A and B are shown apart, each in its own frame.
Chain A
Amino acid sequence: MSVVLTADDVRRVLRRMAHELLERNRGTDFVLLGIRTRGVPIAERLAAIIAEIEGVEVPHGSLDVTLYRDDYARTGPRPLGRTELPGSVDGETVVLVDDVLFTGRTIRAALDALTDAGRPRAVQLAVLVDRGHRELPVRADVVGKNLPTAPGDQVRVRLVEDDGVDEVVLSDGEVTA
């Protein structure tokens, strides 16, 4: 088990991601949607950092993709979360925010969930960690940290909001954290 990002690293990485989003979009004309569960606090923090840099509050909300997952038939029901959109997504640039990008299946589900919520002008993806091993043609636009992993590894993102500490931990397949 090794710590890949410390609290200070997480802080710096999020700040860079916020700058990249502003640069990419030439300003603050976008909506941040955090994917439940860990994507939500990350989206909130990005919004806070952007407010600090630009003095503009970017609309932000949450997206629960549980009902759109492709593993319901196999693994069974998971607890539902709330989807809280900051307003209509029609015609907006939506930035989906998640903690770890792995197979891409969560993002596939998120795109379906978003389509049912409206018709955004464009959708971008920002993730704190990209650990590779994609099973679908999905790519992130803004990545906090590219992390080479083995398929069986576990990447844990811990955040102050949920876990009391900011860190990203990589453990190999045998260890169950």
Chain B
Amino acid sequence: MIGPDLLDMADLDAEAITTILDTAEGFKDVALRPIKKVPTLRGRTVCNLFFEDSTRTRISFEIAEKRLSADVINFSAKGSSVAKGESFKDTALTLQAMGVDAIVIRHAASGAAQQLTRWVDARVLNAGDGTHQHPTQALLDLYTIRERFGRVEGLEVAVVGDVVHSRVARSVCQGLVTMGAHVTVVGPPTLLPPALETWGVRVSHDLDAVLPGLDVCYLLRVQRERMHAQFFPTSREYARIWGLDADRLAVLPEHAAILHPGPMNRGVEITADVADAPNALITEQVSNGIAVRMSVLYLLLGGEEGAEA
């Protein structure tokens, strides 16, 4: 069951995820054509409501919306007094009054997307809420992994680094576990959240021990902007213990894929040469993101007229 909103990877079972990925394959074909646009969402209005900085997610959603022929409104709250509470609600009610069909929201507060669904009739797509969830990122990662290996089930995946601040880690681990991958979360104790065992993952504090058995090494961005305390001594020390460099790349099996949700801190969690290595799928992740977001929009926005009639 998909919809009515996309808030949390926990709402998607393996069947729903498979439907989204299969549909995305069809949209990937669209991206290879001379005319990369289909008329499917003609007459629908989608608002990109971004309370927090974003480059790739916002642009990726915007391209996805435009390729589906939706009308796109970009709302960036950056620099305005809009931050939380009443003013967030007022913004939501304004969009509701304007009759938008879908809202793609990014917000620094965990649960913001869920909150928005209480105020609007529009479909809500969570594009990242605080340290909670970032479901379309997880879906594009699953797509990229499935595309490379032909499956997700049974793969050995390590999710490495700053897990505690990472909504991506929460969504990705959930998606991987739902699809039957074996996930190991790797990082310094200060950057791992409590109760990790409830995620259905293994935990390790030794990257070098984990690397040789991996099919996928998923590196997380060190999220300086969310760190209000000292989580590790220096970037150089982090890079030495937890970063993927050429030496560690040599230990990784040849077939293994390297993923990173971006933006990368080159020289911290990943060195520049590893980021550009042939088994790094980072640019594939970006292009697959468009197809996956088209898929999600397509699957969520159809059939409303019938539902209302």
Contacts and interface: CB of A to CB of B under 8 A. Distances in A.
Interface of A: 64, 66-68, 72-77, 79-83, 112, 116-118
Contacts, number: 56
Contacts of A80: 22-23, 25-27
Interface residue range, chain B: 20 to 34
B303 A74 contact: yes
B35 interface: yes
B303 A82 contact: no
A77 B22 contact: no
Given A73-B43, A74-B303, A80-B23, 14 more contacts: A66-B26, A67-B30, A68-B38, A72-B40, A73-B303, A76-B302, A77-B298, A77-B299, A79-B19, A79-B22, A80-B27, A82-B26, A112-B39, A116-B38
A116 B29 CA distance: 13
Contacts of B39: 67-68, 112
Given A68-B39, A72-B40, A116-B33, A81 B302 contact: no
A169 to B, nearest CB: 28
Nearest to B39: A68
B247 interface: no
Interface in B25-79: 25-27, 29-30, 33-35, 37-40, 43
B26 A81 contact: yes
B304 interface: yes
B305 interface: yes
A80 B25 CA distance: 9
B302 A67 contact: no
Where chain B touches its partner, the secondary structure class is helix
A74 B305 contact: yes
Interface in B11-28: 19, 22-23, 25-27
B233 interface: no
16 contacts: A67-B30, A67-B38, A67-B40, A73-B43, A73-B305, A73-B306, A74-B303, A74-B305, A75-B303, A77-B303, A80-B25, A80-B26, A80-B27, A82-B25, A116-B33, A117-B35
Contact of B302 (A73, A83, A117): A73
Contacts of A79: 19, 22-23
A59 to B, nearest CB: 18
A112 B33 CA distance: 14
A75 B306 contact: yes
Contact of A83 (B23, B29, B303): B29
Nearest to A78: B302
A79 B29 CA distance: 14
A64 B26 contact: yes
* The 7 A-B residue pairs with the shortest CB-CB distance in the complex, in nearest-first order: A76-B303, A80-B26, A76-B302, A77-B302, A67-B38, A116-B35, A67-B40
Interface string B272-307: 000000000000000000000000001100111110
A79 B302 CA distance: 12
Contacts of B19: 79
Contacts of A66: 26
Contacts of B30: 67
Contacts of A117: 33-35
Nearest to A113: B38
Please indicate which of the listed interface residues A72, A74, A81, A83 has the most CB atoms of chain B within 10 Å of its own CB.
A72
Contact of B306 (A74, A82, A112): A74
Nearest to B306: A74
B219 to A, nearest CB: 32
A75 B307 CA distance: 9
Contacts of A75: 302-303, 306
A125 B255 CA distance: 47
Contacts of B38: 67-68, 116
A76 B27 contact: no
A82 to B, nearest CB: 6
A76 B29 CA distance: 21
- Please indicate which of the listed interface residues B27, B37, B298 has the most CB atoms of chain A within 10 Å of its own CB: B298
